[in-house]
Amino acid sequence: MVDTVVHLAVQGGDDFYFTYAEVPQKIPFGGKQALTVHKLVGGRRSVDAMGPDDKPLQWSGMLLGQSALPRARYLDWLRKSGKQCVLTWSELAYLVVVESFDADFERFYKMPYTISCLVVQDLSQPIMATPSPSLDDVMRDDITKALAAGQKIGDGPLTGLLTTLDTAIKAVSSFASASTAAINSVTGPVLAVQGRVNTLIGSVGSTAGNIGTLGGLLPGSNVTLQAAKITNSAIAANQLSQLLNLQSVTGRMWRNLGMGK
């Protein structure tokens, strides 16, 4: 989380910005819903939701440099004072009280620490609906699925076309604001992949349907030859499944590109 600013705004004190190694790798957040459960006759339950019960915000880091000890002592003073602070990082904000602070004095310039903040109130803007993924995210997810399917199919020309499509998608910085020319630079490779997929579906579908008798063996036929046909049909059936999946993915990409124009 070195690209994240962690900030304690102290009421009646100096603000504290966690920097460099002081910034933790992660800060778990969330909690529980406070519930009152009434157990009734017959195993039934009546549950009253009392409100959110946020978990303490705890993390660890390393205080380094000439100011390591004074900074550690300031955080410890916040614990002792019981002052309310506003803890912010990314788009999250909480009114907190420093519940505990522990530091290990290894050197005057090096002190690992652990801090725990009791949440008084969640000040973050609530998200009450599932955000839709961006068009860029959808396209990146689809090309990843398409490349995986192409690898399983194992057709050289198709793999080459998918690589071209991947390169074209990566060249577009934002599909939502892309020009018509940029969108067209991707639609061409999509159509090329779809054309190859349709050709392979016709070919592979014919191979998969070659075995028509029970067990795939004809009376008096060459066993080795029939065994090879069964194997080829099984491989073709697996390829057909991947091709149909790839057909669906590229169809969705085509529709999404239409939205991007």
Domain co-membership, 65 together with 171:
no
pLDDT of residue 214: 46
For 260, phi then psi, to 5°, come to -75, -15
- The two tokens of residue 139 are 């396209």
Number of domains in the chain: 2
Residue 127 resides in a domain: no
Helix (H) or strand (E) holding 255: helix 223-260
Query: Are residues 110 and 150 both part of a single domain?
Result: no
Tell me what pLDDT residue 127 has.
Answer: 86
What is the largest distance, in Å, between two alpha-carbon atoms of the chain?
Answer: 96
* Pair 76, 99: CB distance under 8 Å: no
The CATH number that applies at residue 103 is 2.40.30
Does one domain contain both 90 and 180? no
Distance separating alpha carbons of residues 245 and 152, to the nearest angstrom: 11
118 and 140 housed in the same domain: no
- DSSP conformation class of 83: -
At residue 6, the pLDDT reads 94
In this structure, which amino acid lies at residue 105?
F
Placement of tokens 């955080």 in the chain: 75
In a domain? residue 1? no
How many other CB atoms sit within 10 Å of the CB of residue 186? 24
Asked if 116 and 21 sit in the same domain, the reply is: yes
- 242 and 189: one domain? yes
User: Can you give the residue range of the structural domain that contains 248?
Assistant: 135-260
Q: Which of 122, 152, 169 is at the close of a domain?
A: 122
Q: Is residue 23 part of a domain?
A: yes
Asked if 151 and 251 sit in the same domain, the reply is yes
Q: What are the phi and psi torsion angles at 208 (to 5°)?
A: -65, -25
Assigned token pair, 221: 């036929």
Q: Identify the domain boundary among 122, 157, 187.
A: 122
pLDDT at 261: 47
Residues 115 and 140 in one domain: no
How confident is the model at residue 183, as a pLDDT?
92
Matching residue, tokens 């020009």: 179
Which residues have CB under 8 Å from 261's CB, separation 6+?
180, 183
105 & 184 share domain? no
Residue that is written with structure tokens 């969705």 in the block:
252
Tell me how far apart the terminal alpha carbons of the chain are, to the nearest angstrom: 36
CA 106 to chain centroid: 38
Domain end, chosen from 95, 122, 149, is at 122
Considering the domain architecture, whether residues 227 and 157 belong to the same structural domain is answered as yes
pLDDT in tens, the chain (261 residues): 667 889 999 987 889 999 999 999 999 999 999 999 999 999 999 999 999 999 999 999 999 999 999 999 999 999 999 999 999 999 999 999 999 999 999 999 999 999 999 999 999 988 888 878 888 999 999 999 999 999 999 899 999 999 999 999 999 999 988 899 999 999 999 999 999 999 988 887 665 555 455 455 555 555 454 444 544 555 667 788 889 999 999 999 999 888 544
Kindly state the helix (H) or strand (E) to which residue 230 belongs, with its residue range. Answer: helix 223-260
